[in-house]
């Protein structure tokens, strides 16, 4: 394998931050479950009661997995973290594979490297080893964190090993996807669908027909029954299918031409629809997919929260910490919980808003703005159309989150009366989200390379909502986050003043950014 080690070294260097962030994320996902479960219940009796309530909640089981040993910390960790952990490992593998295979071929960099004295399979093999190692790191850290917690060592290692094997499985399927498709985007589409189907199969299987769970790699991972009668043989299923998928990818790789996929690229329309020719129509067309994706994701998250129904009290226990976080505001426990749930969903939605507000920067960095602005389209109109898309998209995504919460709640409790308040509560967060978008716009107009700092605003919002009350930070520190000022609907009645003030600040930022953009050099 001439050259594979050189490639691998280059990949590892390029990926070192990816390794770190994914590994930290996955370890936190598992470890934080252990910590939070331990802090939540003061007595085993409370724990038993909460466990019984969870076992009876079909929505929870569909979301997380089969309910086993839920009155133990280990059982809770497996239940709450493994399905999502597998998704994390799957996404990491997909992005690592995509970045070193399809994306490299698409950009033409791979051609340059392959033309040097390396074997045909060198970059493929280096990609495979890179992704296998990344998943190994993930598994080892997760296992080590659980052993350190401390939980039973053998079971902890099984949880980590299963995670690594799930990642290997999705590495194999991502490698296959990279051979089938001819663009990075469609490769992510196929590889992502495999992950989604794996999750979906086990969700349906766990609540209905258990056979379906056995068709899913995530089902095999959870079928190892860590902390509830550990068995190793399902791990063999993961290992053998991962090997088979990887082998298939190698065979397919040998059968396709460089730069193409086994599936021919589908042609698109030869003419532009009339709507595409307006500034807004064009901006919307570029972000349409992202708006739909975020709306779907946030709505699903809302559904998950909403389907907790009125079981809030038994679930979150009555420790002081959980009360501090969840019962912010004057209302009862249920309202307090949903107020925080709405804020959580809204903070996730802010991810859309900020990435959408940064879109013009991406367009400029990729050199696509010049050709547009050399037409009759003025800078102001171009950027205003982008702003309008961000505003409309933010409203749509937040409405999706609010509706998801309301519908989820209605499905479990049969009470549709909360749909409207949840929706309105969620829409209130349009204002702080737009403050962050305005900040991104302001920076983009004045110092474009600092525009990404708008993400700090999202981070600040997360810290303030979840840790502000626990850490007892002074009011002015909490006030730095635009998310701090809104009324916590439905625990508190909606207040117009902060909403309108935030909107005014957002408009001020945005207009200043627009004016600055109209005066600066465009590259």
CA distance 221 to 199: 11
The token duo for 73 is 């910390």
Q: Is 215 a binder of another protein (CB under 8 A)?
A: no
Cβ proximity of 436 and 460 under 8 Å: no
Give min distance, CB of 436 to another protein, in A.
25
Scanning residues 375 to 394, which ones bind another protein (CB under 8 A)? 375-379, 381
Span interacting with another protein, options 268-276, 297-305, 383-391, 485-493, rule CB under 8 A: 268-276
Query: What does the DSSP assignment read for 340-378?
Result: HHHHHHHHHHHHHHHHHHTHHHHHHHTT-HHHHHTTT--
Q: Does 150 bind another protein (CB under 8 A)?
A: no
* Preceding amide of 150 cis, omega within 30: yes
Give the list of residues 6+ apart from residue 122 with CB closer than 8 angstroms, or none: 1, 2, 3, 4, 6, 7, 114
CB of 34 to another protein, least distance (A): 42
Q: Which stretch binds another protein (CB under 8 A): 115-123, 129-137, 366-374, 501-509?
A: 366-374
The answer to whether the CB of 361 falls within 8 A of the CB of 472 is: no
Residue 69 three-state SS: coil
Measured between alpha carbons, how far is 96 from 518 in angstroms, rounded to an integer?
38
For position 38 contacting another protein by CB under 8 A, the verdict is no
Of 433, 436, 438, 399, the residue nearest 419 (C-alpha) = 399
109 scored as a contact of another protein (CB under 8 A): no
Q: CB of 188: closest distance to another protein in angstroms?
A: 12
Coil, helix or strand for 271?
Answer: coil
Residue 129 Ramachandran class (φ > 0 left, ψ -120 to 50 alpha, else beta): alpha
Nearer of residues 269 and 474 to another protein, judged by Cβ: 269
Which tokens sit at 411? 């499905």
> Which residue stretch of 16-24, 82-90, 201-209, 364-372 sits at the interface with another protein (rule: CB under 8 A)?
364-372
The residue from 9, 14, 109, 368 that contacts another protein (CB under 8 A) is 368
Does the bond joining 296 to the residue before it have cis omega, within 30 degrees of 0?
Answer: no
Nearer of residues 68 and 379 to another protein, judged by Cβ: 379
Q: Which parts of 307-326 interact with another protein (CB under 8 A)?
A: none
Minimum CB separation of residue 443 from another protein in Å reads 19
- The reply on whether position 277 binds another protein by CB under 8 A is yes
**Interface segment toward another protein; rule CB under 8 A; list 114-122, 263-271, 320-328, 384-392:** 263-271
Q: Which of 371, 472, 475, 496 binds another protein (CB under 8 A)?
A: 371
User: Quick check: 255 binds another protein (CB under 8 A)?
Assistant: no
* Distance between first and last Cα of the chain: 42
Give residues in contact with another protein (CB under 8 A). 106, 182-183, 185, 265, 267-272, 276-277, 282, 285-286, 289, 366-368, 370-379, 381, 519-523
């Amino acid at each position: 394998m001439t050259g594979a080690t050189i490639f691998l070294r280059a990949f590892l260097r390029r990926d070192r931050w990816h390794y770190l962030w994914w590994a930290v994320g996955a370890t936190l996902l598992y470890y934080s479950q252990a910590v939070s479960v331990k802090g939540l219940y003061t007595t085993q009796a409370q724990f038993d009661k909460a466990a019984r309530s969870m076992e009876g909640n079909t929505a929870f089981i569909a979301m997380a997995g089969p309910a086993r040993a839920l009155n133990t910390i280990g059982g809770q960790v497996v239940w709450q973290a493994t399905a999502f952990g597998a998704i994390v490992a799957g996404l990491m593998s997909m992005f690592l594979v995509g970045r070193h295979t399809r994306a490299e071929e698409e950009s033409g960099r791979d051609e340059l490297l392959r033309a040097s004295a390396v074997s045909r399979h060198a970059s493929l093999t280096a990609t495979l080893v890179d992704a296998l190692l990344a998943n190994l790191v993930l598994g080892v850290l997760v296992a080590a964190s659980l052993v350190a917690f401390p939980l039973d060592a053998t079971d902890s290692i099984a949880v980590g090993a299963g995670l690594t094997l799930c990642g290997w499985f999705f590495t194999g399927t991502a490698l296959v996807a990279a051979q089938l498709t001819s663009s990075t985007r469609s490769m992510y589409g196929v590889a992502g669908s495999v992950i989604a189907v794996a999750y979906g199969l086990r969700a349906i299987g766990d609540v209905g027909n258990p056979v379906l769970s056995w068709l899913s790699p995530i089902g095999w991972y959870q079928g190892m029954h860590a902390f509830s009668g550990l068995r190793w043989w399902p791990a063999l299923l993961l290992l053998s299918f991962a090997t088979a998928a990887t082998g298939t990818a190698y065979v397919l790789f040998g059968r396709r031409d460089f730069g193409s996929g086994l599936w021919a690229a589908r042609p698109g329309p030869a003419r532009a629809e009339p709507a595409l020719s307006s500034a807004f129509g064009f901006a919307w067309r570029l972000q349409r997919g992202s708006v739909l994706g975020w709306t779907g994701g946030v709505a699903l998250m809302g559904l998950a929260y909403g389907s907790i129904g009125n079981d809030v009290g038994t679930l979150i226990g009555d420790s002081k910490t959980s009360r501090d976080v969840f019962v912010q505001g004057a209302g009862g426990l249920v309202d307090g919980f949903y107020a925080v749930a709405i804020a959580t969903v809204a903070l996730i939605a802010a991810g859309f808003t900020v990435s959408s507000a940064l879109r013009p920067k991406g367009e400029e960095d990729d050199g696509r703005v010049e050709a547009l602005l050399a037409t009759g389209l003025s800078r102001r109109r171009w950027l205003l159309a982008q702003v309008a898309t961000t505003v409309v998209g933010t409203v749509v995504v937040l409405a999706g989150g609010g509706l998801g919460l309301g519908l989820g709640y209605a499905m479990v409790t049969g009470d549709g009366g909360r749909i409207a308040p949840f929706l309105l509560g969620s829409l209130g967060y349009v204002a702080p989200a737009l403050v962050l978008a305005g900040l991104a716009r302001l920076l983009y107009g004045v110092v474009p390379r600092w525009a990404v700092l708008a993400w700090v605003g999202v981070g600040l919002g997360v810290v303030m909502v979840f840790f502000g009350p626990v850490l007892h930070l002074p009011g002015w520190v909490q006030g730095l986050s635009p998310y701090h000022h809104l009324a916590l609907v439905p625990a508190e009645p909606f207040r117009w003043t902060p909403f309108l003030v935030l909107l005014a600040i957002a408009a001020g930022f945005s207009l200043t950014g627009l004016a600055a953009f109209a005066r600066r050099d465009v590259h």
